[in-house]
Structure 1
Amino acid sequence: MMTKNTCIFFKNPVVRVLTAIFIIASVPTQSGAQLTPGYQVSIKFPPVADRGAPERTSPGGRRGGCDLKEATPSHINSRIELTAIAPINNIITTVVPNPAVYVHIATIIDQQVNFRVLEKGTKIEVYNTNFQLPHTAGIVKVKLPETVKLQANKIYNWEFLVICDPEDSSDDKLVKGLLERKSLTFEQLDKIEQIKENPIEQAKLYAEYGVWHETLEILDLLRKNSQFKAEWNELLSSVKLQSLANYPVINCCQVANSRAAPATINNIKKPQPDSLPNTGWGGN
């Protein structure tokens, strides 16, 4: 039940600015075609400081488990490598409570994955799920469900573990990183709201504000229009991931057998995007 204070909060005009960042969800994918032909925006993610996050790639180790004995025409890479689609410091920044994590897998493998999110520096799980990898090489997008409520200004660990041998974990492939939910200033939110009809310009602002997830997600949606492939390529090049720019993003991995910590009144301090109609922004 909504409390009296909550009702008053939703009426606050500032909240309309906070909510405006999610209006881009209602912009159709085809909207890019309405822009001037040749319209292009330079989108580069700014340099980021090293804050002690793990490497973006899975560590090397002995060959075995998921690794193929030799390359074949359909399996160009014989060693399984995982790469987080993240800034160089491997910290995925976001402004939403249930973002997505993108992981590149260059080789087709039919294995189970365990994905989980934990409070940084603890064993407290916020989310834990298992799913089967799609039979496609590409960038796997793991979307946190609406039941997950990452707290603002807090950092989390995430882990993407490919289970190669249920009997021997030494063969498993692991990539991990940090996930941080940021808060933007009212001035920044107002600028984003003012260009709500122009998602490509919103992506540019998110990049300037150091918000990786929203920048990446907008450009992933827009690159379905060939007019915006250059912006996607430039973004990945700016974080030294240009070799992965041509891979498809696979929305495969929000599944039912997941465990998420329940939301509480203590970690919902502002209206959340999951209170808005589901418009399909970013996929599932």
Structure 2
Amino acid sequence: MQQDTENFLLFKLKTTFFVTIVIMTLVSCSREVFAESHNLVLSNSQETKIRFIPAQKKPPPKRGGNPSAPEGTGSRGKCFESQDRPPLTIMVGSRNLQLTIDKRPTFWMYTPYDRKEPLSGEFSLQNGDNEVFRTSFKLPTKSGVFSISLPPIAPGLEIGSKYRWYIDINCPMTEVSIEAPTTVSLTGVVKRVNPSSEMTMDLSNAKTPVEKIKVYAKYGVWFNTLTEIAQQRIKKSQDANLKKIWIQLLSQPEVGLEEISQESIIEN
């Protein structure tokens, strides 16, 4: 009888010890999982803290109307303007937003027009008094952010040269107007720069698109910053983190595009 009691107590002791070990192991694993999850959240949070640092630190120009900036950037003319939407707006080419490292960059703008029949327009690029490239295009039939890219047949931009680009949109007559068709115009500047050795190294070390965006923003190359984040948003339209980065970048005082930061991006 005494032997049975001792065996029972020994079994109970072993069972208690085993259960204690299991509980401690589970607690330890839970802490590790929590720590990893917490670090992941912090990492994702840090990804959204992207700051655009312009190479030319000047205040952004006022939109609309005849431009008064020495660069001559901005827009003129009106075409089916709506008080419910921001006006036609350039997103590249104004003071702080001129630089690219691409031979054939992408030009971004916001169109406020919703129409069954798309408006036609012309894009031209000039180097001094020489026209480098010209092409016609159709605007999207809905309002939003859209782009025009230089095609492979267009001459590549030369490093260090400053080019002026123009967009002329043809506005047809309306039923309530007897005036002749008018044209609304946008203009801006683009300059191709050679990436520094530090920027080249940072780009080679970038392992994700968001890290690339950080590098472009850090060195003030706005064309590439905007194109990279816009293309990523088109690919991953449901990604809340990318949307947050987009809104944050456009809303910075150095950029001055907060008014259109909530507008949709139209895939070409």
Q: Which residue of 2 aligns with 1:186?
A: 197
Distance 2:99 2:109 in 1: 15
Partner of residue 104 from structure 1, selected from 105, 110, 116? 110
Shift of 1:102: 0.5
Q: Which residue of 1 aligns with 2:5?
A: none
Distance 1:107 1:136 in 2: 6
Question: Aligned in 2, Cα 1:174/1:187: closer, same or farther, shift over 3 Å?
Answer: same
Number of aligned residues: 202
RMSD: 2.6
Shift of 1:41: 3.0
Correspondence list, 1:1-284, <5 A: 36-37=40-41, 39=44, 40-47=47-54, 48-50=56-58, 52-56=70-74, 58-59=75-76, 66-67=79-80, 76-77=84-85, 81-86=87-92, 89=95, 91-109=97-115, 110-119=118-127, 121-122=128-129, 124-148=130-154, 149-165=156-172, 168=180, 171-195=182-206, 197-223=207-233, 224=237, 225-238=239-252, 239-252=255-268
Q: For 1:3-27, what per-residue CA distance to the aligned partner results, in whole angstroms no more than 9, with x for missing partners?
A: xxxxxxxxxxxxxxxxxxxxxxxxx
Task: Flag the structure with more relative contact order, 1 or 2, with Cα contacts below 8 A and sequence separation at least 6.
Answer: 1
Q: Which runs of 5+ in 2 are unaligned?
A: 1-38, 59-68, 174-178
TM-score normalised by structure 1 residue count: 0.64
What is the letter of the counterpart of residue 91 of structure 2? I
Give the share of equivalent positions with the same residue, in percent: 25
What is the letter of the counterpart of residue 67 of structure 1? F
Distance 1:228 1:136 in 2: 22
Of residues 217-226 and 151-160 in structure 1, the stretch that sits farther from structure 2 once superposed is 217-226
Q: Which has the larger radius of gyration?
A: 2
Runs of 4+ aligned residues of structure 1 deviating over 6 Å after TM superposition are: none
**Structure 2 SS opposite 1:130:** strand
Distance 1:90 1:175 in 2: 17
* Structure (1/2) with the larger helix percentage: 2
TM-score normalised by structure 2 residue count: 0.67
CA contact 1:83–1:103 (8 Å) conserved in 2: yes
What is the letter of the counterpart of residue 115 of structure 1? F
CA contact 1:54–1:90 (8 Å) conserved in 2: no
Distance 2:93 2:57 in 1: 10
Q: Which runs of 5+ in 1 are unaligned?
A: 1-34, 253-284
